[in-house]
Amino acid sequence: MTTTPQAVRRASPRARRTVTPPDPARSLLPDAEPVRLLAQDGMPLPARADYPEPAAEVLHELYRRMVLGRRFDTQATALTKQGRLAVYPSSRGQEACQVGAVLAVRDTDWVFPTYRESMALVARGIDPVEVLTLLRGDWHCGYDPTEVRTAPQCTPLATQCVHAAGLAHGEAYQGRDTVALAFIGDGATSEGDFHEGVNFAAVFKAPVVYFVQNNKYAISVPLSRQTAAPSLAYKGVGYGVPSEQVDGNDPVAVLAVLTRAVAHARAGKGPFLVEAHTYRMEPHTNADDASRYRDGAEVDAWRDRDPIARLETYLRARGVLDDAAVAEIAEQAEAYAADLRTRMNAQPAVDPLSLFDHVYAEPTPQLIEQREQVRAELAAARAEEGDA
């Protein structure tokens, strides 16, 4: 008996399969394009059933907090020039991300910020002076993290990803529906702690939203030198984590996407990864000269995508904002900045020895020795002053 090629194909299970089975990886992938609900000029784009637009009063509040946030940011940069702050990393241009993300979580949820998120913290309602205490060099963290359910701002890149996974897992383990929102920059997604945090959260279905603000730079290193992935959101599939990309300068889209991601985590479905495409308008910090690694035309192109102007145009067109409301919010922002200036100009008396408090629950022998050394130096300096 001869076997024809057709007979071989008929007998082969591969050849018989006509329907492609559902690919579990596909459901985890982000849309190919970032979600966008407002065009660059502030005009609405077609509504999306999967990302319903937040209520008008929520958008009004989003706008108000973005305006206050930007004013806070400008004031903080000015305080570096006056020597009141040691350093300040501005998030100008990232207002939609900073404010949209914190509006998507509850006060009872936990936020894990980086050094970039001072604006997000004031938008969460934390006292701006307490937020800036770390950058003034007075204290490790100016607010009480447990009271405001916000971890200290992390400078070691990506470590907050692990902390967020642990806290979220612990909360779920104890039967609470707390969600942890972890901010992270584009550059920090190359760190091992990002991998460990997202992987742990995925395996244990910890309710964490990992929110990557892709502002295109890690100090001077551009995104092209950071990753070969089609977009940072695509990293989710490797961990079994669903993800989405969003236009990070579209405040309405950021809030809508984050709201859905938070609902996913709260429903016990595990972590969610969101990548926001945005831009850092200012240098990395006041100590950086960004003109050495990027050109002005690039910055100007992003100036045209200003998130505050975009939301204002939209809300005016919808009748949610008018001249009077815009002026009233601008006035609130000025008063907020004036109060911040006055309080930051007060010279708080800080005990240098307090530097050693709260480093460990039980201080190590080295820490005790160092504390004693500083105490002796201070006592000697005081004695010298007394002699003089």
Ligand X SMILES: Cc1ncc(C[n+]2csc(CCOP(=O)(O)OP(=O)(O)O)c2C)c(N)n1
Binding residues vs Mg ion (CB under 5 A)? 185-187, 215, 218
Taking CB within 5 to 8 Å according to partner kind, which of Mg ion, ligand X, none is near residue 317? none
**Least Å distance between CB 288 and Mg ion?**
12
What is the spatial order of strands in the sheet that 180-185 belongs to?
Answer: 110-112, 180-185, 208-214, 272-277, 243-247
Q: How far is the CB of 210 from ligand X (least distance, A)?
A: 13
Query: Which is closer to ligand X, CB of 232 or CB of 321?
Result: 232
- By the criterion CB under 6 A, which residues form the site for ligand X? 116, 155-157, 185-188, 215, 217-219, 280, 284
With 0-12 / 13-18 / 19 or more C-beta atoms within 10 angstroms meaning exposed / middle / buried, residue 13 is exposed
293 among known catalytic residues: yes
Of the two residues 67 and 158, which places its CB atom closer to ligand X in the complex?
158
Which one of ligand X, Mg ion, none is in contact with 163 (Cβ closer than 5 to 8 A by kind)?
none
Amino acid letter for position 272: F
Q: One of 60, 84, 266, 293 is an active-site residue; which one?
A: 293
Q: Give the residue from 205, 95, 208, 235 showing the smallest Cα distance to 151.
A: 208
Instruction: List the catalytic residue out of 116, 277, 280, 305.
Output: 280
Instruction: Determine whether 280 is an active site residue.
Output: yes
Of all residues in the shown chain, the one whose CB is closest to Mg ion is: 185
CA nearest neighbour of 105 among 260, 330, 247, 259: 259
Spatial CB neighbours of 45, under 8 Å, sequence gap ≥ 6: 36, 37, 38, 39
Long-range CB pairs of 333-337 (<8 Å, 24+ gap) are 333/67, 333/68, 333/70, 333/71, 334/71, 336/68, 336/71, 336/72, 336/128, 337/71, 337/72, 337/74, 337/75
Closest CB to ligand X among 163 and 264? 163
The 10 Å CB-count burial string (b at 16+, else e) for 293-323 is: ebeeeebeebeebbbbebbbbbbeeeebbee
Minimal distance in Å, beta carbon 149 to Mg ion? 25
| Token pair recorded at residue 314 | 């939209």
Q: Which does 124 bind (CB under 5 to 8 A by kind): Mg ion, ligand X, none?
A: none
Q: Active-site residue 284, yes or no?
A: yes
Angle CA(93)–CA(98)–CA(104) in degrees, nearest 5? 140
Q: Minimal distance in Å, beta carbon 290 to Mg ion?
A: 12
Tell me which of 116, 136, 264, 284 is the catalytic residue.
Answer: 284
Q: Which does 169 bind (CB under 5 to 8 A by kind): ligand X, Mg ion, none?
A: none
Q: Is 5 helix (H, G, I), strand (E, B) or coil?
A: helix
Q: How far is the CB of 89 from ligand X (least distance, A)?
A: 6
72 binds, among ligand X, Mg ion, none (CB under 5 to 8 A by kind): none
> Which residues carry out catalysis?
280, 284, 293
